[in-house]
Structure 1
Amino acid sequence: MAMTPKRGYHHGDLRNALIEAAGTLAEENGPQAITVRAAARAAGVTPTAAYRHFENHEELLHAAAEQALERLAESMREQIQKLPDIDDPPRAALSNLAAVARGYIQFAIAEPGLFRTAFTPGGKRVDATDLGTATPVPDDAAYGILMEGLDRLVDVGHLTNDYRPFAEITAWSAVHGFAMLVIDGPLSEWPEEALDAAMARMFAILVRGLTGTALSDQLAADVLAAVS
């Protein structure tokens, strides 16, 4: 799809305009499509003007990755906000974590270019000192949402303090791997019904591995249905 050039940007918002253009490039063709010149062309400005804000494509790619991470966090928040009121605290905490997972995977499916950009090489790194603590990586809202979801499991007694350290890496690995199998791997042509069943199974196994507590396929499906 051809991009319509945007003209008339003032100097004060050109940086954001270039980031937005980079996001659109990534949305359409992945992170490899992001260059300063391509973003300048899409924004309707000269490369010289763009280079005043980004010295090279790595800087622009980093900014686009941060924007993509925020979009990912928005998808996760949207799924959490859709949750119905649940009186049972453990089920509510599990539903919250399921919403986090579904929001993550749905963003990958809906915006594969931005999703790949969010995790492009050279992007944001996780400091090992932040693992297993209540303090998320600064400015990484998506990571913070995952941390909060796992902390809720601790609060309701479904995840012990002994099992909490590195739990976010375990959960992240499972959900991210599932997302990559869907957008770039052998699950890419599966129908939605099959993907939902596989996701429910993955979530049930993940929770059991994290907590040492069995989660039936039916409960996992019920929990995921709450955020469908």
Structure 2
Amino acid sequence: MAVKGGKAGYHHGDLRNALTEAAVELAAEGGPERVVLREAARRVGVSPTAAYRHFGSHCDLLGAVKERCQRQLAASMARAVEEGPELPDAGEEAVRRTVAIGRGYVRFAVENPGLYRSAFSRVVLDGAAGDHGLVFAGVLPPGDDPVFRAFRALSDTLDALVESGRMRPGNRAGAEVAAWSTVHGLSLLILDGPLARLPEEQRDAVVDRSLEAIVAGLTR
């Protein structure tokens, strides 16, 4: 939701949310480098001092932006799953969902490069080491932490592949990292690499073939 109209653009007591929305707009325009607390305050129509009452630092604001972007990424993956009809065979349905969430992941990156880069920006809060170690260790925190929502959706889908008999249990360990690394690398090649020059039809074909290869490797 766009933040417009200066101080009239947010409800009393909701300045933190208004600043976050303004910062998400900045991220959409230019990635995490564009997320600046003073600029977000200017767009909302308040002083930097007022903004700092809600966000103590640039990292605090970027952390809030990252969470919003992660939510949007997970939503893109969910929409891609919902676009196709559910298949009656559990194994085929698990395969369809695996391909769909990969497609939704790449689509979000292509359509929202600034938000995509912000979703994976490095944010360290209160001296913490960040979230990357947990992800790459294959360990997820309890609950529904938005930072891990997309990863959890992938993990659940891979579990369904095993439960349906399409993936051997021995292939399951670490499969999230292998699959995620592939779609993440593919997304970056499309955004910043040689695949950026491909016409849309050819790009989509490359995405489809890559996703098919991922599933073939998981289910071999």
Q: Report the TM-score, using the length of structure 2 for normalisation.
A: 0.87
RMSD value over aligned CA atoms? 2.2
Q: Tell me if the contact between 1:134 and 1:151 (Cα under 8 Å) persists in the aligned partners.
A: no
What's 1:138 paired with?
145
Letter aligned with residue 62 of structure 2: L
What's 2:50 paired with?
49
| 1:101 pairs with 2:99 | no
> 1 CA distance for matches of 2:139 and 2:219?
14
> 2 CA distance for matches of 1:170 and 1:117?
22
Q: What secondary structure, in the 3-state scheme, does the structure 2 residue paired with 1:12 have?
A: coil
Matched positions, count: 210
Letter aligned with residue 213 of structure 2: I
> 2 CA distance for matches of 1:129 and 1:194?
31
Equivalent of 1:169 in 137, 152, 177:
177
Residues 188-203 of structure 1 aligned to structure 2 (within 5 Å)? 188-203=196-211
Q: Tell me if the contact between 1:132 and 1:168 (Cα under 8 Å) persists in the aligned partners.
A: no
Deviation of the 1:130 alpha carbon: 6.3
Deviation of the 1:149 alpha carbon: 1.1
Q: Tell me if the contact between 1:68 and 1:118 (Cα under 8 Å) persists in the aligned partners.
A: yes
| 1:211 pairs with 2:214 | no
Q: List structure 1 segments (4+ residues) > 4 angstroms apart after TM superposition.
A: 132-137
Letter aligned with residue 138 of structure 1: D
Deviation of the 1:5 alpha carbon: 4.7
> 2 CA distance for matches of 1:63 and 1:115?
14
What's 1:69 paired with?
70
> 2 CA distance for matches of 1:211 and 1:133?
23
Letter aligned with residue 163 of structure 1: N
Letter aligned with residue 196 of structure 2: S
* Greater Cα shift, 177-186 or 132-141: 132-141
> 2 CA distance for matches of 1:167 and 1:27?
30
> 1 CA distance for matches of 2:154 and 2:107?
15
Q: Tell me if the contact between 1:109 and 1:179 (Cα under 8 Å) persists in the aligned partners.
A: yes
Deviation of the 1:125 alpha carbon: 2.8
In structure 1, the gaps of 5 or more residues are 213-228
Deviation of the 1:88 alpha carbon: 2.5
> 2 CA distance for matches of 1:82 and 1:183?
24
Q: Tell me if the contact between 1:130 and 1:137 (Cα under 8 Å) persists in the aligned partners.
A: no
Aligned CA distance change for structure 1 residues 163 and 81 (closer, same or farther; 3 Å): same
In structure 2, the gaps of 5 or more residues are 124-129
Q: Tell me if the contact between 1:136 and 1:147 (Cα under 8 Å) persists in the aligned partners.
A: no
Q: Tell me if the contact between 1:134 and 1:147 (Cα under 8 Å) persists in the aligned partners.
A: no
> 2 CA distance for matches of 1:183 and 1:12?
38
Q: Report the TM-score, using the length of structure 1 for normalisation.
A: 0.85
What's 1:125 paired with?
132
